[in-house]
Chains A and B, each alone.
Chain A
Amino acid sequence: MTVEATRTAADRDARITTEDEQAVPPGRGMRFTNWAANYVDERTSMSGFVREFGRKIFPNHWSFMLGEVALYSFIVILLSGTFLTFFFQASMTEVTYEGSYAPLKGLDMSAAYASTLDISFDIRGGLLMRQIHHWAALLFVASIGLHMLRVFFTGAFRKPREINWLIGFVLFVLAMGEGFTGYSLPDDLLSGNGLRIIDGMVKGFPIVGTWMSNLLFGGEFPGTSVVGMFYSLHILLLPAVLVAALGIHLVLMVVNKHTQFAGPGRTNDNVVGVPILPVFAAKAGGFFFIIFGVLALIAATVTINPIWAYGPYDPSPVSAGTQPDWYIGFADGALRLVPPGWEFELFGFTLSLNILAPVLVIVVFLVLVAFYPFIEGWITGDQREHHMAQRPRNAPRRTAIGAAGVTFYAVMWAAASSDLIATHFKLAIEGVTHAIQLLLILGPIIAFVLAHRICIGLQKKDREIVLHGYESARIVRLPGGEYIEVHEPLSEYERWKLIDFDDYQPLMLRPNDRGRIPVMQRVRAGLSRWFFEDRISPVTNTELEAAKHGGHH
């Protein structure tokens, strides 16, 4: 039995003291604890802080732990990364490799690559740490992605959490930046090819492109400075910004309180769950070690980024199957999907639409993701605070938009592995590319329509179950010979989960104080109608009563 503490807004600042504590005289251990706590508090006034954070309530749901997964993999990244900095040399000075990997012995390479090889082959535990670091990085971005999807599909970004969504998005972008700079550091063939693509993309910008590339690489690609510069970004600037943003993200999470799913006793004004201290902290500490353990197990058994196989960077060879790490895959895929011939010459300048178009698509997509809470808030005109997480089916349009976005991203992501899809499924690569190009346009539309239909269908099913109970699979023959299936009514607890959700109406068009209806208002009303015109309202009390007393069937 877990003790669930209920905390309402009213007793937010109430002192947490209990009668029991004063009745029993404290033991020696307790006296020391009290003294120490008092000592610290008198000098730092920490008790208010501890009270606020220690009493933060976490509702119990698996999907609320995904952000934690990201946090803990970030800690694993920090720890393993610190180990790697002891041995990595961020320099592109040429050295001759004399380490223990035979197929590279005697070869000239950069100090960065040579030191990465040493970490992999000649430093005790180095390879394990490198693999933990890389696997944790992949898991970090993956768990951020899943966490974002959870927040999106449950509407947990609505007021008052829009700003925290934006900060979370910044964290996501920073994580990708960290990942890409880290991927480039070993200066192996694969990472060099990745940098070459970035170089090409930068050069694709009209007029400034060439200069920007020169700035980035300190002259002509690959230059001799990019590894050192990326190293500073990777271990200093990006992590510092990331930790700061992470801090704000967590503080805002405490300030905004946690969302929860509908259930008996749960309202928009309370949070039902366990407090951080002591239950949740203990659980979370254990969870951290589980994540660390899973990562260590994977790193010990599954090879990641075998840089020794790729060889030192040399601009001439490009290997088949060269891909970025998964989180940059969607950008690589967007580049691969551009049809041939999108390059034009205008007044002696080359206009590389084959680069600018996918970059624009990616930027627009990311901006839409970042500002979605504000866009939806504007469309719905909803000024209420929301602390109840929605079930995705209860916001059909948003769920459909999300499904379309996920499909769009996934199609671009799949495009990054078009060559592997072709070889592994024995298809022609042209066929694969054309199919994916088509899917990029059709996929989101199909996903949108399907998700919307499915949501409405599920809502109808919920309504049916609330009003008429679920089918019990018990067939009864009536005296008259008629067969009926008995419908069992839901329990109060179960019913609550199905009927407690927000009802929205399309915005009404009203003239402003000058008696006019501005164009933006019309657009807004149109979007709002599109958002909410197909909807299933929650079951009302009257309907429920009517169903109870009305005829069964």
Chain B
Amino acid sequence: MAPHRKNRTGRRSPVVSAMLLLVGLLATGGSYALFTASASAETTAHVDNLIDEGQKLFQANCASCHGLAAQGTDAGPNLHGVGAAAVDFQVATGRMPMAASGPQAEEKPPQFTEEQVAALAAYVASLAPGPGIPDESLLTGNGDVTNGAELFRINCAMCHNVAGAGGALTEGKFAPDLKGVEPAHIYEAMVTGPQNMPVFNDLNLTPEDKADIISYLMFIDDKSNSPGIIDLGGLGPVSEGLFVWIFALGSIVGITVWLTAKSN
């Protein structure tokens, strides 16, 4: 096919295609600019409202630890510059507000609705520039799973375990299980480095790399790493060893007792 096409001389000059493409792009771009410009006044007002609401929520729920202006106190860190990503991660997973002080903030059912989380995030983001909520295009799970899996093994597995089952850190802290975590929260965690997690900035892992890692995690979540029915929590030889002693050997000892029982 290809050589045939190369030799073909068409009705149109090759310039026409380029021109058409240019016109198309201009039209789309122009109309997009027009629409967004006309909407911007409304959006600004909406954002201002959101920030106000966020400030109220913040002062009612967060200020006792983080201070009235989010400047931080002895009980909680300064939030200037943590960005909307940190707020969305901490609040939408229920880690903040903390139920009790402990080695680290634990996941629990979130205390705020999505709108309230968005308001809080908008408020904190308005204080100082910081990482924002990731773009939807990075969270589709259509990235390169091979690259994602390799990056995960190199960067994440030493704490989160190769199967993403989580692991222990020092002093009662731990890396949580990654099963069923929202892609956006995984991305935000990488960008903001919550609790003991290091920050993986965009020089470290490009947004595409992060999208690949998320794709890998979505792949193993979706397909499950276990072709059988039971995967024993992805915890490796410890759960396999317990299984063989309790269930395999247990059932076989049961069978030996049955085989040697005296018939009545």
Could you say which of A283, A298, A321 contacts B247, with CB atoms under 8 Å apart? Answer: A298
B23 at the interface (CB under 8 A from A): no
The segment from B26-34, B55-63, B183-191, B219-227 found at the interface with A is B219-227
CA distance A301 to B232 in the complex (A): 11
Q: List 20 A-B contacts (CB under 8 A).
A: A2-B263, A66-B256, A103-B219, A138-B241, A189-B157, A189-B162, A294-B252, A302-B232, A309-B163, A310-B153, A317-B157, A317-B158, A320-B160, A320-B161, A326-B237, A422-B174, A428-B103, A428-B171, A429-B170, A430-B170
CA distance A236 to B253 in the complex (A): 31
Q: A143 to B252, Cβ gap below 8 A?
A: yes
Chain B 17-43 near chain A by CB (<8 Å), digits 1 or 0: 000000000000000000000000000
A531 to B103, CA, bound (A): 50
**How far is B244's CA from A146's CA once the two chains are assembled, in angstroms?**
12
Docked Cα-Cα span, A63 to B247, in Å, equals 17
Write the B242-262 contact mask toward A (1 if CB under 8 angstroms, else 0).
111101110111011101101
Contact indicator B162/A103 (Cβ below 8 Å):
no
The reply to whether the CB of A295 lies closer than 8 angstroms to some CB of chain B is: yes
User: B153 near A303 (CB under 8 angstroms)?
Assistant: no
* Cα separation A429 to B169 with both chains bound (whole Å): 7
Interface of B is mostly: helix
Tell me the dominant secondary structure on chain A's binding face: helix
A397–B19 CA distance with the chains assembled, in angstroms: 97
Q: How close is A237's CB to chain B, nearest CB, in angstroms?
A: 25
Q: At the interface with chain A, which of B92-100, B109-117, B142-150?
A: B142-150
A102, A139, A306: the one contacting B244 at CB < 8 Å is A139
Contacts of A131 in B (CB 8 A): 228
> In the complex the two chains form, what is the Cα distance from A146 to B248 in whole Å?
13
Determine how close the nearest CB of chain A comes to the CB of B233; give it in whole angstroms.
9
Interface residues of B in 163-178 (CB under 8 A from A): 163, 165-172, 174-175
Determine the interface band of chain B, counting residues with CB < 8 A from chain A: 35 or more
Residues of chain B within 8 A of A314, CB atoms compared: 153-154
Q: Give which listed residue, A65, A294, A323, A430, contacts B238 with CB less than 8 A.
A: A323
Q: Which stretch in A104-112, A155-163, A495-503 binds the other chain?
A: A104-112
Spell out B's residues near A (CB within 8 Å): 103, 145-146, 148-150, 153-154, 157-163, 165-172, 174-175, 216, 219-220, 225-232, 234-238, 240-245, 247-249, 251-253, 255-257, 259-260, 262-263
**A347 interface residue, CB < 8 Å from B?**
no
Shortest CB–CB separation between residue B21 and chain A, in angstroms? 33
Question: Are the C-beta atoms of B249 and A142 separated by less than 8 Å?
Answer: yes
Q: Which of A1, A61, A143, A309 contacts B260 (CB 8 A)?
A: A61
Known: A138-B241, A142-B248, A321-B165. 11 other contacts (CB 8 A): A138-B244, A290-B255, A294-B251, A294-B252, A301-B228, A302-B231, A309-B162, A320-B167, A324-B237, A419-B168, A422-B172
Chain A nearest CB: distance from B151 CB in Å? 10
Pairs of residues from A and B, 5 with the lowest C-beta to C-beta distance, nearest first: A320-B167, A326-B241, A428-B172, A419-B168, A103-B149
A134 to chain B, nearest CB (A): 8
Complex: A303 Cα to B243 Cα, angstroms? 11
Structural contact, B241 and A329, CB atoms closer than 8 A: yes
- Complex Cα distance A423/B176, Å? 9
Q: Which residue among A62, A135, A143, A314 has the maximum number of chain B CB atoms within 10 Å of its CB?
A: A62
Interface centre among A142, A326, A420 (most CB of B within 10 A): A420
A305-328 vs B, Cβ < 8 Å mask (1 yes, 0 no)? 110111100101111111111100
Instruction: Check if A62 sits within 8 Å of B149, measured CB to CB.
Output: no
Asked if A404 is an interface residue, CB under 8 A from chain B, the answer is no
Return chain A residues, CB-CB under 8 Å to B166: 320, 423
Q: Mark A382-423, 1 if CB is under 8 A from B, else 0.
A: 000000000000000000000000000000000011111011
CB distance from A252 to the nearest CB of B (A): 22
Interface residues of A in 415-449 (CB under 8 A from B): 416-420, 422-423, 426-431
Whole-angstrom distance from the CB of A292 to the nearest CB of chain B?
11
Given contacts A107-B146, A320-B161, contact A309 B244 (CB under 8 A): no
Interface readout for A1-43 with B: 1 if CB under 8 Å, 0 if not? Answer: 1100000000000000000000000000000000000000000
* Chain B residues, CB < 8 A from A310: 153, 162
Contacts of B148 in A (CB 8 A): 103
Complex contacts, B167 vs chain A, CB 8 Å: 319-321, 419, 423
Residue among A283, A290, A304, A318 with the most chain B CB within 10 A?
Answer: A304
Pair A326/B226 contact, Cβ less than 8 Å = no
B168 and A320: CB pair below 8 A? yes
Contacts of A69 in B (CB 8 A): 249, 252, 256
Whether A319 contacts B240 by the Cβ 8 Å rule is no
Contacts of B263 in A (CB 8 A): 1-2
A190 at the interface (CB under 8 A from B): yes
Q: List A contacts of B153 (CB < 8 A).
A: 189, 310-311, 314, 317, 319
User: How far in angstroms is the closest Cβ of chain A from B217?
Assistant: 10
